[in-house]
C-alpha cells in the first residue's frame, strides 16, 4: 500500500502495439514480481480497475492469467489475494530456482563476451549504490536485469519464461525479506559471478549462482518464516 492507502502498482512504459489487456497484465505482473503488493493483500476486481483507471474487463483477463501463474489466488467469495508464502512452497520454489538458473547460466557461458561482462559490471555497480540508499524498488529491478542480461545471451535459450515465473511467485515474499531481515545479502555474490564469467570457469559460475540464490533468498527467507511462525 502507498501512504494514502492505495495499492502500489508502479507505472511501466506502454509497449508499442500493446493492447489494454496486455498492458494491464504486464503492469500487475511487474508490481507482483517487484514485491510492490505484499503477500496476503486483499484485492478486488473493482479496486484494481479503479486504481488503474480502467474498466473491469481488461483487469479480469489479467487476473485470470496471473491466477494461472500462481501469482494471484482467487477465493470462493470472488475476492483475491497475493498468496502467503508457506515453508514447503518456499523450499520448492528456491530449489527450482537454483536448478533452472544454474542450468541457464551454464548454457549462456559460451556466449558471454567482454562487452556483456562490462554491462553486468555496470549493473552491479548501480546496485551497490542502491543498497546504500535502501532503494528496494531499484535494487530488485536491477537484480532481475543482471540475471536476465546474463541468461539471455544464449541465442537458443528457452528458460527465461520459467525463470520469470519463479521470480513472480517469489517476488512478494522476497520483498518482505529484504525489507524486514537486516542480514539479507551480506556478501555480494554478483562479484563472484563476474569473476567466474571473466575466467570462463563453469564450476565457479555454477557455485556463484547457487550461492547468490541461497544467500539472497534461502537463508533470510527461512529466518523470516521462522519469525512469522513464532509470532
> pLDDT digits over 6-53, tens only?
688 989 888 888 899 999 999 999 999 999 998 999 999 999 999 999
Distance CA 180, CA 160 (A): 29
In the predicted structure, residue 78 carries a pLDDT above the cut 80: no
The more confident residue out of 216 and 117 is 117
Say if CB 123 and CB 142 are below 8 A apart: yes
Q: Which domains does the chain have, with CATH numbers?
A: 20-81 (1.10.10.10), 87-230 (1.20.120.530)
Strand partners, 80: 43, 74
Kindly report which listed range (126-130, 152-156, 178-182) carries the lowest average pLDDT score.
Answer: 178-182
Q: Which value, in Å, is the radius of gyration of the alpha carbons in the chain?
A: 18
What is the model's pTM? 0.89
pLDDT band with cut points at 50, 70 and 90 for residue 224:
confident
Distance CA 120, CA 209 (A): 14
Distance CA 95, CA 76 (A): 31
Span 133-142, average pLDDT: 85
Residue 14's region, left for phi above 0, alpha for psi from -120 to 50, else beta, is beta
Distance CA 194, CA 1 (A): 36
Distance CA 96, CA 168 (A): 13
Q: Which residues contact 75 (CB under 8 A, 6 or more apart)?
A: 81
Residue 3's pLDDT is 46
Amino acid at each position: 500500500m502507498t501512504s494514502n492507502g492505495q495499492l502500489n502498482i508502479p507505472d511501466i512504459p506502454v509497449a508499442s502495439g500493446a493492447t489494454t489487456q496486455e498492458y494491464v497484465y504486464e503492469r500487475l505482473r511487474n508490481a507482483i514480481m517487484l514485491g510492490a503488493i505484499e503477500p496476503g493483500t486483499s484485492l478486488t476486481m473493482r479496486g484494481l480497475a479503479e486504481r488503474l483507471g480502467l474498466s473491469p474487463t481488461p483487469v479480469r483477463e489479467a487476473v485470470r492469467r496471473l491466477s494461472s501463474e500462481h501469482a494471484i489466488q482467487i477465493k470462493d467469495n470472488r475476492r483475491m489475494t497475493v498468496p502467503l508464502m508457506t515453508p514447503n512452497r518456499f523450499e520448492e520454489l528456491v530449489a527450482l530456482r537454483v536448478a533452472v538458473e544454474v542450468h541457464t547460466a551454464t548454457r549462456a557461458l559460451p556466449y558471454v563476451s567482454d562487452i556483456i561482462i562490462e554491462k553486468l559490471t555496470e549493473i552491479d555497480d548501480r546496485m551497490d549504490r542502491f543498497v546504500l540508499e535502501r532503494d528496494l524498488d531499484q535494487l530488485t529491478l536491477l537484480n532481475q536485469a543482471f540475471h536476465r542480461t546474463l541468461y539471455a545471451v544464449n541465442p537458443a535459450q528457452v528458460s527465461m519464461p520459467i525463470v520469470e515465473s519463479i521470480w513472480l511467485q517469489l517476488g512478494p515474499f522476497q520483498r518482505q525479506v529484504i525489507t524486514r531481515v537486516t542480514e539479507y545479502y551480506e556478501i555480494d555474490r554478483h562479484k563472484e559471478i563476474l569473476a567466474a564469467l571473466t575466467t570462463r570457469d563453469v564450476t565457479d559460475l555454477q557455485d556463484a549462482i547457487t550461492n547468490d540464490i541461497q544467500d539472497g533468498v534461502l537463508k533470510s527467507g527461512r529466518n523470516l518464516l521462522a519469525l512469522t511462525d513464532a509470532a
